[in-house]
Amino acid sequence: MRTLSVDLGERSYPIVIKRGLLSEVGSRVIGLGFNGRVAVVTNPTIANLYADRVMKGLKGAGLNPALITIPDGEEFKSLNEAGKVYDGLVRHRMERSSAIIALGGGVIGDMAGFVAATYLRGVPYVQIPTTLLAQVDSSVGGKTAVNHPSGKNLIGAFYQPKAVFIDPDVLRTLPERELKAGMAEVVKYGVIWDEGFFGFLEKNSGVIYSIGRETTHAIERSCEIKAEVVGKDETESGLRSILNLGHTFGHAIEAVSGYGTYRHGEAVSIGMVMAAGFSARLGLCSSDVEARLKGLLAVLGLPVDAPDIPAEALIESMRLDKKVSGDKLRFILVTGLGQVVLKEAFEADVRGFLLSFKKA
């Protein structure tokens, strides 16, 4: 077992990583000081796999759990579906002291966290991520949101959970595509923070999906980096923005393609390759860095080529992104493995790169 901490003063919380942890959820939630009613928010797929175990564990610990399900998929991360979760909380008479438990991937975690931040002006919640992407990224750091038709995560709040409970064993039931999509965020940590970790992923690319000790180490190191960054910059006023490597391009790809066409991690994979290519074009890094990143992502089974989307459509989407400043687009760009920098770029420069990247 490994316990990490997101250090935010009075709002600090643990990240507990342990095989078989799902079977301990009742005692773990009680250990946080909760009692009475709790709401488990999940989707039908995860409910079929794990809801019985979680609900029995919560009941066995003396809690009164209610199960609320929403459809599975990024296209359902909306205000409309959030409204249905509010309806469930009201129906089950959840109070301000009642906890919400997010049992699922990034969509569930973002949605449940957003609802927790706004229901009765804020109720506590716990993250139990069941996808690799959620375990290493979205469950940690308190970013909660729903999508708007014009852009991803445009409606949301920073609202920290009381704990994150990670059970690597649940990844054994994760579809291969979802597992690979999550690995994009793992690779991201090597690029933005730790070249040695990037090398570890290169060396172990053949066994990283085995859900063995290499996978667990990848989860632990990713959470360790995320926790350190969030502890230093909770609301993304500076350092935390480095976690957005690949996301300016990636979010535009998701929005223009239609949510659900690409998994978030797949779009981030393409976005990181584009960010590295743009960095090389601007002279910030060598082409070798771009080649190593593209090579690792490809070996891990992730997409690395830009989809057939007009450059203007991508730029229009990027204008709506939260990482825009004035009339310039903001990017996290690569200066070397383990090193990135925040840069602003004129639309004309981005347009020229997009046109050349699509031809490459």
Please, is 298 exposed, middle or buried when counting C-beta atoms within 10 Å of its C-beta (0-12, 13-18, 19+)?
Answer: middle
- 236 annotated active-site: yes
- 147 annotated active-site: no
| The dihedral sign for the CA sequence 89, 56, 11, 251 | negative
Query: For residues 37 and 92, is the Cβ–Cβ distance under 8 A?
Result: yes
Amino acid found at 38? V
Query: For residues 120 and 96, is the Cβ–Cβ distance under 8 A?
Result: yes
- 264 annotated active-site: yes
- Distance CA(298)–CA(72), nearest Å, equals 27
- 185 annotated active-site: yes
Query: For residues 114 and 127, is the Cβ–Cβ distance under 8 A?
Result: no
Helices and strands (H, E) in the chain, number of each type = 14, 12
- 18 annotated active-site: no
| Nearest alpha carbon to residue 331 among 83, 269, 339, 340 | 340
Bridge-partner residues for 164, per DSSP? 15, 127
Written as six digits, the tokens of 81 are 């579906």
Select which of 143, 180, 188, 263 is catalytic.
143
Query: For residues 22 and 170, is the Cβ–Cβ distance under 8 A?
Result: yes
Select which of 152, 221, 240, 330 is catalytic.
240
- Distance CA(23)–CA(72), nearest Å, equals 23
Select which of 28, 180, 221, 247 is catalytic.
247
Amino acid found at 15? I
| The dihedral sign for the CA sequence 339, 342, 348, 351 | positive
Select which of 77, 188, 251, 330 is catalytic.
251
- 162 annotated active-site: no
Helix (H), strand (E) at residue 322: none
- 247 annotated active-site: yes
Select which of 74, 178, 185, 254 is catalytic.
185
Select which of 74, 236, 254, 266 is catalytic.
236
Select which of 162, 226, 263, 330 is catalytic.
226
- 217 annotated active-site: no
Select which of 264, 266, 290, 330 is catalytic.
264
If you ran DSSP here, which 8-state letter would residue 344 be given? Answer: E
Active site residues: 121, 143, 185, 226, 236, 240, 244, 247, 251, 264
